[in-house]
């Protein structure tokens, strides 16, 4: 593999993001494992990424809202196969959300379709990553009146964490930062993108820190915690 190619295709950053397919990833690994200059780039890129995330978690850098409209536009430009998978995942995220049949009220009856519902991707946290990953979520304006937008949280558990566990059943618990159980639901399955999605109606979250736990159902029919996600809800 040539450095020209690595540079031209942004392999360093894409490798760390986990978005290289096997055909690019394997030769790149075989190359950098023996290449001090690529290793250097990879290590500093890792470090910068961690630092930027820490800065956002610390509140010294403001995280920009991510843009679903852009996503959808971008989807249109893809080849049919990946587009199908991504559209399926996006639709699942935006529409097929049975979870809020849980303990809290559904969005107000008669509420029409919502456009451009923000999709918020949460990454699992583990041990010392916890506070570094306290992602900010901007609460919808007008939420007091029960109007405004819902938020869709996307928990990427599947494809990466448990690739061979197709059909496995999951549960989700939402806790306050103090550990109080606010809501839970079980009997959930991963969507096509290996994610669980959660629609939060406007007015559901108050400002504060929250923790989401994803549970897996074992053969003994008991739930065990698989992953945690932490976020801070703030007013825009």
Partner 1 sequence: MISWASLAVTGIEIGFPRDLVKEIDSQFSPSRLAEQIRSGDAEAEEELVGHFGRGIGVILRAVTRDRELAEDLYQETFRLAVEKLRQGALNDPEKLGSFLAGTARNLASDHRRRTFRRRTDTAGDTLTSLPDTAPDQLGELLRKEKAALARRVIGELENPRDREMILRFYVHEEPKPAICEDLDLTPRHFDRVLFRARQRYRKKFVERVAREGKDFTSRTGESPGEHHVFHEALAEHGKQRP
- Give the ranges where 33-136 is alpha helix by DSSP (H): 36-58, 68-76, 80-94
Q: Contacting partner 1 (CB under 8 A), which of 94, 140, 216, 231?
A: 216
Nearest distance from C-beta of residue 34 to Zn ion, angstroms: 8
The tokens describing 48, both together, are 């910068």
The tokens describing 59, both together, are 């509140």
Is 63 in contact with 136 (CB distance < 8 Å)? yes
- 24 to 53, contacts with partner 1 by CB under 8 A? 26, 29-34, 39-53
Nearest distance from C-beta of residue 82 to partner 1, angstroms: 10
Radius of gyration of the chain measured on its C-alpha atoms: 19
Q: Which does 34 bind (CB under 5 to 8 A by kind): partner 1, Zn ion, none?
A: partner 1
Alpha-carbon separation of residue 129 from 171, 211, 226 (angstroms): 22, 13, 15
Nearest distance from C-beta of residue 49 to partner 1, angstroms: 5
Please give the Cα distance from 72 to 217 (Å, whole number). Answer: 33
- 144 to 183, contacts with partner 1 by CB under 8 A? 161-165, 168
The interface mask with partner 1, positions 88-127, x = CB under 8 A, is ---------------------------------x-x--xx
Q: Contacting Zn ion (CB under 5 A), which of 35, 86, 88, 182?
A: 35
């Amino acid at each position: 593999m040539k450095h020209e190619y690595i540079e031209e295709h942004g392999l360093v950053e894409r490798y760390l993001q986990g978005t290289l397919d096997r055909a690019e990833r394997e030769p790149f690994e075989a190359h950098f494992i023996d290449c001090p200059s690529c290793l250097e780039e990879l290590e500093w890129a890792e470090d910068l990424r961690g630092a930027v995330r820490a800065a956002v978690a610390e509140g010294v850098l403001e995280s920009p809202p991510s843009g679903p409209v852009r996503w959808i536009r971008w989807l249109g430009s893809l080849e049919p196969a990946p587009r199908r998978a991504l559209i399926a995942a996006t639709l699942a995220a935006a529409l097929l959300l049975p979870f809020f049949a849980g303990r809290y009220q559904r969005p107000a009856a008669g509420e029409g379709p919502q456009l451009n519902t923000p999709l918020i991707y949460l990454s699992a946290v583990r041990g010392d990553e916890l506070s570094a990953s306290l992602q900010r979520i901007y609460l919808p304006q007008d939420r007091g009146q029960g109007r405004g937008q819902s938020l869709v949280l996307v928990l990427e558990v599947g494809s990466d964490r448990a690739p061979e566990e197709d059909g496995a059943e999951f549960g989700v618990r939402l806790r306050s930062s103090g550990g109080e159980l606010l809501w839970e639901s079980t009997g959930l399955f991963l969507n096509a993108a290996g994610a669980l999605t959660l629609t939060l109606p406007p007015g559901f979250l108050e400002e504060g820190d929250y923790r989401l736990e994803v549970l897996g159902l074992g053969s003994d029919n008991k739930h065990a915690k698989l992953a945690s996600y932490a976020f801070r809800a703030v007013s825009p």
